[in-house]
Amino acid sequence: KITVGILALQGAFLEHKLHLQKAVRHASPGSLLDTTKFEIVEVRTPEQLAAADALVIPGGESTAISLIAERSGLLEPLRQFARVDRKPVWGTCAGLILLSDEASKARKGGQELIGGLHVRCQRNHFGRQTESFECDLALPFVGDDEPPFRAVFIRAPIVEKVLTGADLTADVANDVVRAPKLDAEADDYKTAPIEVISSLPSTQGKEAGDIVAVRQGNIFGTSFHPELTPDVRLHRWWLQECVLGRGESRI
Ligand code: GLN
């Protein structure tokens, strides 16, 4: 069995769990996403994380998630999982912030990042809660004949910069937090290219071109909340990519 964990410390973990269950429920026996091959579990402890083959980090509040992760002794195991063991990880919204190597600081100060994606993420890029919006996004599985994928953005971050090795060794800017370097990573730092999976179309006065879905090796990040609409195609796509070993993910 493939155990897919959902980090269940805070935020929309239950919705992700239901989506993942739904994504595999209707798969035919013997197919790639055959239900019998998967176990979808909530992760709250290092032991549960160790039992997972892949992980989803939900949206919510990234400062709260990192604080609880620290208190639960999960922060280092999460770094190990994503950056050393390189198991497939997908972060949505707050999850994307946590998986970024750099992020703009939260208003009330520091927060710990898991890191792994060589990007700088800008928190709350579109403004406050009332600036939340929806739009249709181009994604790899949405063909011309398929219904559009409706994405929900709630105090969403964007990827504002793809970082180079030089960026990551330069001094960190005052208003930015950076994930710590890991010893285990030193000689084998991830060299997989950053793939932009989707950017914002021109919509509702928002600037077109902002990066809202990105993948680097085993790590996938999205700015929006795919678990808040009934559409499970992105969950299904990610599971398939993991099973197929795309983007260096190994299950
Ligand atoms: N702005 C939130 C944060 O900084 C993320 C919002 C979300 O996950 N919907 O964590």
Mode of pairing for the β-strands spanning 133-137 and 149-153 = antiparallel
Mode of pairing for the β-strands spanning 211-216 and 219-222 = antiparallel
pLDDT at 204 over 90: no
pLDDT band at 127; cut points 50, 70, 90: confident
Could you tell me the two tokens for 116? 């792994």
Percent with pLDDT over 90 in the chain: 67
Q: Residue 231: which residues within 8 A CB-CB, separation 6 or more?
A: 149, 150
CA atoms of 19 and 17, how far apart (whole Å): 5
Could you tell me the two tokens for 20? 């993942």
SS3 category, 93:
coil
Could you tell me the two tokens for 63? 């400062």
Number of Cβ within 10 Å of residue 173's Cβ equals 12
Of the residues 96, 123, 126, 225, which should be mutated to test ligand 1's pocket, given the most ligand atoms within 8 Å of the CB? 123
CA nearest to 121, candidates 16, 249, 222, 9: 222
Burial 136-166 (b: 16+ CB within 10 A, else e): ebebeebeeeeeebebbbbbbbbbbebbeee
Mean pLDDT confidence for 110-114: 87
Could you tell me the two tokens for 204? 């509702």
Mean pLDDT confidence for 85-110: 91
CA of 156 to the centre of ligand 1 (A): 6
Supply the pTM of this predicted model: 0.94
- Residue 194: give its domain's CATH number: 3.40.50.880
* Per-residue pLDDT, 247: 52
The separation between the first and the last C-alpha atoms of the chain, rounded to the nearest angstrom, is 10
pLDDT band at 79; cut points 50, 70, 90: very high
Q: Which domain holds residue 214?
A: 2-248
Of the residues 155, 177, 212, 222, which should be mutated to test ligand 1's pocket, given the most ligand atoms within 8 Å of the CB? 155
CA nearest to 59, candidates 132, 184, 131, 154: 154
Number of domains making up the chain: 1
Q: Residue 122: which residues within 8 A CB-CB, separation 6 or more?
A: 103, 104, 157, 158, 159, 160
Q: Is 123 in the pocket of ligand 1 (CB under 6 A)?
A: yes
Q: Is 97 in the pocket of ligand 1 (CB under 6 A)?
A: yes
Average pLDDT, the chain: 90
State the amino acid at position 77 in one-letter form.
Answer: P
